[in-house]
Amino acid sequence: MRVPRLVLLAGLILFAFQVRLWAEPVEDTSLGKNIAGILSTPLLEGASVGISVVSLPDEKILFSRNSDRLFIVASNMKLLTTAAALSSVGPEYQFKTTVYRRGDVLESGVLSGDIIVKGGGDPNISGRFYEGRSTAVLERWAAALSDAGITEVSGDIVADDTCFDREYIHPNWPKAQISRWYCAPISGLSFNDNCIELRALPGSNGTVEIIEEPSTKYVTVHNTCRLTKKKKDAQFIINKKPGSNEIFVSGEVNSRKLPSKHFITVDNPPLFLASVFKEVLERQGIKVHGQVRLISAEDGDSLLPLEELISTVSTMAQSVEVANTNSQNFYAEQILKTLGMEIKGEGSFAAGQEVLKEFMLELGYPPDRYRIDDGSGLSRENRLSPRMIVDILSFMYRHEEGNVFYSSLSESGADGTLHNRLKEEPYKGRVKAKTGYISKASALSGYVETVSDKTLAFSILINDFKVSNSEIKQIQDSICKVLVSY
């Protein structure tokens, strides 16, 4: 268990957060009047709007409206999760996954025992950093077995996911959307974002061909989808049988909409990794006689020593960047449970939440001032205020790892979830921020580099709106344009 950096820095952090006075409203300036004019739109009728804007590093309040009110923050929760991670375990923290053998390798090349894959919460075992080759890491593991002289495994492929608990799905995530990629299960041993990728292509004789990535028997796809010339009313439907890995593809799709990609969650992520690993081994000529299974108490009773064959590592900095730039819920929740594991000795949602609460306390916010329910913002039970988010941004601006945090945010008109927003000059590249959306809750918070070379921190939280989120995003962008021009 680690001693978090944020505790070591506690004496340095009790600065203006606890003594700053936030008068409401702060709008009697040209900047304030411009923002207030944008907010007067009838599109926001009935909506709750909270905004906080400060200059950095002096933290002078430039605009404040409902800045202490609590809002559903959607994916802006990732700002808290990733800030706490960089402050406590640091960007160099390594997620480590290790492949062991248990038993002797006979002269015949037979391993008289099991292969054990021990997870460390790594979200990066996928094709994301390997040019899209989802099994690239597993192929390296298979090569390590070959290098050790192993041609057959008499025992099992054992998945050790015990660094985390097995509460794969948060209870407050939307039940009807659990098969969607943004609800991916969270596990101590994960693979391919715990999703199967389905690629839909035009087939022959009016059919739609579905290609799985990775190709695996762990998932069964039933495909009855057909091509159609309809431009309207064509439905491409993907459903997954609850509690299984059976996926049903049906409906009709216009060929103009193909090819397309779809990511569907898998059940029991550790077995998913172990199953695909077994298939990779066998494709590379290593026969596995046993089964694929989760680690059990009996494995701990074995007197046979474990011998490391290979390990794979990735860093917290890599994971924070994916979580924030691409708004990957899976990454944020893997980080949350990792914080619980490292600092509280328990890889669970609850333990991770406690670490976030300790971080918030260092900023001067006791637990009764807000609500933390998960690490990604997918839960509707999270509540933060614009002021709290700006305080997180201001803290990270000063922090020794602030550059890592800043770089992880999406850049306007350039990458991530802001790649198609604020693309025009002078706004392109001047907003580094985290987007967020779940039903009736939209958020945008981050930093602005103004045309006059000032740096601002801002948070825009909007709940209970009656219009589309695209219209709300236009309002957010209009406010950002005012800030850039400041």
pLDDT tens digits, one per residue of 230-247: 878 788 899 998 899 999
Instruction: Tell me how far apart the alpha carbons of residues 189 and 186 are, in angstroms, rounded to a whole number.
Output: 9
Listed residue (250, 253, 199, 206) closest to 225, CA to CA: 250
What are 48's strand-pairing partners?
Answer: 463
Kindly report, residue by residue over 23-72, the tens digit of the pLDDT.
Answer: 455 666 899 999 999 999 999 999 999 999 999 999 999 999 999 999 99
CB 461 within 8 A of CB 76: yes
CB 253 within 8 A of CB 231: no
DSSP E strand boundaries for 161-259: 195-202, 208-213, 220-223, 226-228, 236-240, 246-254
Distance (Å) of CA 200 to CA 191, 259, 392: 22, 5, 42
DSSP state of 340: I
Kindly report, residue by residue over 286-344, the tens digit of the pLDDT.
Answer: 999 999 999 998 887 776 789 999 999 999 999 999 999 999 999 999 999 999 999 99
Which domains can be identified in the chain, with CATH numbers? 5-92+317-484 (3.40.710.10), 94-168+271-311 (3.50.80.20), 175-265 (no CATH)
Distance (Å) of CA 213 to CA 117, 131, 201, 436: 21, 13, 13, 28
Mean pLDDT of 75-88: 99
pLDDT confidence of residue 231: 77
pLDDT band at residue 255 using 50, 70 and 90 as cut-offs: confident
For all residues of the chain together, what is the average pLDDT?
94
Helix (H, G, I), strand (E, B) or coil at 471: helix
Angle, CA of 461, 22 and 479, to the nearest 5°: 35
Backbone φ and ψ of 437, nearest 5°: -155, 125
Kindly report, residue by residue over 136-153, the tens digit of the pLDDT.
Answer: 999 999 999 999 999 999
pLDDT confidence of residue 299: 83
pLDDT confidence of residue 25: 56
Kindly report, residue by residue over 365-411, the tens digit of the pLDDT.
Answer: 999 999 999 999 999 999 999 999 999 999 999 999 999 999 999 99
Mean pLDDT of 80-85: 99
Q: Does the pLDDT of residue 4 top 60, yes or no?
A: no
pLDDT band at residue 8 using 50, 70 and 90 as cut-offs: very low
DSSP E strand boundaries for 123-163: 152-153, 157-160
Kindly report, residue by residue over 142-196, the tens digit of the pLDDT.
Answer: 999 999 999 999 999 999 999 999 999 999 999 999 999 999 999 999 999 999 9
| Residues with Cβ within 8 Å of residue 474, at least 6 apart in sequence | none
pLDDT confidence of residue 23: 47
Cα 440 → chain centroid:
21
CB 97 within 8 A of CB 117: yes
pLDDT confidence of residue 24: 56
| Residues with Cβ within 8 Å of residue 476, at least 6 apart in sequence | 442, 444, 460, 462
Q: Does the pLDDT of residue 223 top 60, yes or no?
A: yes
pLDDT band at residue 22 using 50, 70 and 90 as cut-offs: very low
Give residue 221's identity as a one-letter amino acid code.
V
Q: Does the pLDDT of residue 480 top 60, yes or no?
A: yes
DSSP E strand boundaries for 281-421: 287-288, 292-294, 306-315, 410-411
